[in-house]
Structure 1
Amino acid sequence: MLIPNVKQVNGIWSGNVTLDSWNNFFNKEMDIDLNIGGDKLIESLNSRHKFAYEYLVTNQEKLLQIILNALLVEYPIMQEEYGYEDEELDEYMPNVDNIQEFKEIMEPKRVYILDVENDGMAYLGFHFICSWDEDHDYGVMMHKERVVKMGGGDVAFLSWIAEEDKKASEIV
């Protein structure tokens, strides 16, 4: 098996992954859903998927820090966009001064290994449940240690986002 705890059901490769440093950060034991392919059905797993899985597990702490630090920068802008006021602000999208405070308002739901690769590495997507948007959640797409895009949960699994990023990097 290329990736442990993963199987194909109805054409979708899925399973779970335990990321110990994420469990430590969020102070809970979690088996995070794992999806391979994102919004694309793939027939079989290959070395690009295995390599991305190994990268995820090996760099889990660093990836979480990158995600949370990027969110810390973007979060005040998001607060303005969501427009919560007074009690709603305190309940759904409270002010955050450091990344530790995010564990009170979000938690990981799913990790995606997309079928799009760039420079030998598949894109990874991270989907979080969050208090500020219970309908759409929060998503991040990354390539290696670079945040490609942040937004609703769908950002984590949409292949076209990875494909656009790949094309843009080929132009440079």
Structure 2
Amino acid sequence: MIPGLIKAEFGYEGTIKLDSWAGFQSRNGGYGSISSSEDFDGSCRLATGGDMADNNPEIKDFHIKAYEFTIKNQELIKNMILEYLQKEYKGLQEEYGYDDEEKEQYMPDVLDISGFRKLIGLSNVHLLNVEKEGIGYVGYEFGCTWDNEHGFGVMTHKDRIVSFGGADSSFLTWIARKDIEPIEKETDDSKSEETDTQNKTEIIDNRKPWWKFWK
């Protein structure tokens, strides 16, 4: 079983402590808001099901394996997420378009991944009801200084980023299901190459609409 999880109205809920995220912002308030001015100790909400939690849940083996992978590889996963965020950060700065004074407050330039410690905090970890190769998908939901309303989220499968975008990117079941759908084989080589290119860039395309739709 997964320590500390108890049955809730929908799915199971509890807490998870990921020491690798200690020292970041404390974002355990509602909708990932700041809950304390003190540094985060790595404890946040853990829940099963994402947006497809039900009132008759089960803890399945793939949930347990996903949890164990998350605990064991937390430093690797943290660095993977932060490195990806850093790669996308300049584009995010341009999309939000803060003026110089606001930019310094909400989205200052970041020289390396350690610069995100004062800008983001982990608020929720989601163990989704979707699995691949016997291990479930895991979503990481964050609060951030540049978008207090929508935050940002990352969905992973083991040590791979599946989706990056608004907070809902961490818990939308259809994203995980889409990831496991087989790509239809094209008889025409050019169509196959085009499809492959689209799939490789989809992780970025999935990110861009979130603030445009919600603003």
TM-score in same-fold range (> 0.5): yes
Q: Which moved more, 1:61-70 or 1:22-31?
A: 22-31
Aligned counterpart, 1:38: 50
Which residue, 65, 75, 78 being the options, matches 2:89? Answer: 75
Using the alignment, how far apart are the partners of 2:184 and 2:44 within structure 1? 32
Matched, 1:102 2:138: no
RMSD: 1.8
Counting aligned pairs with the same residue, the percent is 40
Instruction: Letter of the 2:2 partner, please give it.
Output: I
1:12 Cα shift? 2.5
Larger radius of gyration between Structure 1 and Structure 2: 2
Give distance in 2, aligned partners of 1:41 and 1:24: 30
Residue in 1 that maps onto 2:77:
63
* Alignment match, 1:21: 20
Distance 1:28 1:156 in 2: 20
SS of 2:2's equivalent in the other structure is coil
- The counterpart of 1:132, out of the listed 139, 146, 159, is 146
Dislocated runs of 4+, deviation >4 Å: 24-27, 168-172
Shift in Å at residue 4 of structure 1?
0.4
Unpaired segments of 5 or more residues in structure 2?
Answer: 26-38, 186-195, 197-215
* Structure 1 range deviating more: 34-43 or 106-115: 34-43
Query: What TM-score do the two structures reach when normalised by structure 2?
Result: 0.75
In 1, Cα distance between the equivalents of 2:156 and 2:115? 22
**Could you say which residue in structure 1 is the equivalent of 2:3?**
4
**Counterpart of 1:94 in 2: which secondary structure?**
coil
Q: 2:129 and 2:153 mapped to 1: Cα distance?
A: 17
1:123 has 2:122 as partner: no
Instruction: After TM superposition, give the deviation of residue 21 of structure 1 in Å.
Output: 2.1
The structure that is strand-richer by fraction is: 1
Which whole-Å CA distance do the structure 1 matches of 2:182 and 2:80 have between them?
A: 22
Any stretches of 5+ residues in structure 1 without a counterpart? none
Give the alignment partner of residue 166 of structure 1, picking from 166, 180, 190: 180
